[in-house]
Amino acid sequence: MTKNTVVSGVRATGDLHLGNYLGALKQWVQFVKNENDAEFLFFVADLHAITTPYEANELADNTRQITAAYIASGIDIEKVSLFAQSAVPEHTYLQWLFTSVTPLGWLNRMTQFKEKAGKKRDNASLGLYSYPVLQAADVLLYKATHVPVGEDQKQHIELSREIAGAFNHRYQQDFFPLPEPMILKEGARIMSLRDGTEKMSKSAASDMTRINLTDDADTIAQKIKKARTDPEPVPSSFEDMEARPEAKNLITIYSSLAEVSRESVMSKYGGKQFSEFKGALADLAIEKLGPITAKMNELMADKAQIDAILNKGAARAREIAGPVLEDSKRLMGFWS
């Protein structure tokens, strides 16, 4: 049996937030702990970061900061290759090869492009439009079998599967595996603290919509205290919860952080005032995130050490990526 290859990444677009942690990172850490015989490659998606407005003088440190967040969250660097996407040029090369098997109609369906491009779609960059093709290259370059992501990335992973299938069909080889998205049942979509119908996001204008992994205890407590709720007490049943997005979000955050079911959260706090529940949630968030923030700060104090980890990871990534790219080119008929 061939071993599993697990690949995922986070855009280097700013501080990681609770959604990134609960939807992606926490799952990665668990997967790495439970699986001893897989190849793990987690990258910082700095090439994806430049598809939306960004500060050039912050990009490299953003990449380091996200690497620090990976390690501080518990990623075992003995088992995992961590690297910057831009340090492995094979990603963009394979993306170009994939553009020739990706019909425009597939890209036109992508909801994330529509959301991120907004109303002025003609002003969005080609990079943003072709983002999902690079994402397909990001995982297929390593013949990934599993891609742990939050729910918002499901459509992109499905597209990666379609691109793999189109390539295999066009070149008559069972060359790329169809990667499986791994999406948690709970916590896969953490919502904004200010609007339970919007995803918690790094790029949302207001910082009060999210809890950042860099927030201190007071900031976390303030943000939870000010999180939007409705005038009713905490819901006691799923039915009640489902109709109240902000309440549902806070219950989901509590259950994911405490690693207990939402039923048990509701049986403890259902019928109580939100002020009491929010106090308990703030304590829990501070208890769980505090050590991660402290470790991130410690790691960021030694950037050379982070760079060494990224260099080592990139070297391993290129060892795998090089032959896959060469084989792809050979199948496509290139001179070599």
Of the residues 153, 249, 252, 256, which one makes contact with ligand AQP according to CB under 6 A: 153
Q: Which residue is nearest to ligand AQP (CB)?
A: 23
- Least Å distance, CB 52 to ligand AQP, is 7
Identity of the residue, 147 or 321, whose beta carbon is nearer to ligand AQP in the bound complex = 147
Nearer to ligand AQP, 113 or 277 (CB): 113
**Comparison of 19 and 132: residue with beta carbon closer to ligand AQP:** 19
Using the structure block, give the residue that is written with the tokens 């019909």. 103
> β-strands 5-11, 39-45: how paired?
parallel
Give dist(CA 274, CA 278) in Å, integer: 6
Q: Which stretch binds ligand AQP (CB under 6 A): 93-101, 145-153, 276-284, 300-308?
A: 145-153
Smallest distance from ligand AQP to CB 101, Å: 24
* Residue 116 annotated to the active site: yes
* Cβ atoms 216, 297 nearer than 8 A: no
| Nearer Cβ to ligand AQP (109/272) | 109
Residues 72 and 29: their CA atoms lie apart, in Å, by 10
d(CA 95, CA 112) in angstroms, rounded, equals: 18
Q: Where are the beta strands (DSSP E) in 166-226?
A: 180-182
With respect to ligand AQP, which residue has the nearer C-beta, 13 or 65? Answer: 13
- What is the helix (H) or strand (E) element at residue 6, kind and residue range? strand 5-11
In the chain, the amino acid numbered 232 is E
* Catalytic annotation, pick one of 26, 199, 223, 248: 199
| Beta-strand relationship, 39-45 and 180-182 | unpaired
Whose structure tokens read 């992973």? 157
Tell me the window of 72-80, 137-145, 187-195, 256-264 that interacts with ligand AQP (CB under 6 A): 187-195
201 lies in the binding site for ligand AQP (CB under 6 A)? yes
> Which member of 199, 223, 248, 278 binds ligand AQP (CB under 6 A)?
199
Torsion of CA 31, 303, 137, 47, to 10 degrees: 130
Q: Which residue of 11, 91, 146, 161 would you call a contact of ligand AQP, by CB under 6 A? A: 11
Number of residues that bind ligand AQP (CB under 6 A): 20
- Decide: is 180 part of the binding site for ligand AQP (CB under 6 A): no
The active-site residue, picked from 202, 223, 248, 278, is 202
202 an active-site residue? yes
Q: Please report whether residue 211 would count as binding ligand AQP according to CB under 6 A.
A: no
Q: Report which secondary-structure segment, H or E, holds 41.
A: strand 39-45
Q: Which is nearer to ligand AQP, 152 or 162 (CB)?
A: 152
**Residue 84, SS3 per DSSP:** strand
Binding mask 30-69 for ligand AQP (x = CB under 6 A): ---------------x------------------------
Is 181 a residue that touches ligand AQP (CB under 6 A)?
Answer: no
Cβ atoms 32, 214 nearer than 8 A? no
Contacts of 327 (CB under 8 A, 6+ apart): 175
Q: In b/e form, how buried is each residue of 177-214, taking b as 16+ CB within 10 angstroms? A: bbbebbbbeebbbbbbbbbbeebbbbebeeebbbbbbb
* Residues at the site binding ligand AQP, with contacts judged by CB under 6 A: 10-11, 13, 19-20, 23-24, 45, 149-150, 152-153, 188-190, 199-203
Question: Which amino acids are annotated catalytic?
Answer: 116, 199, 202
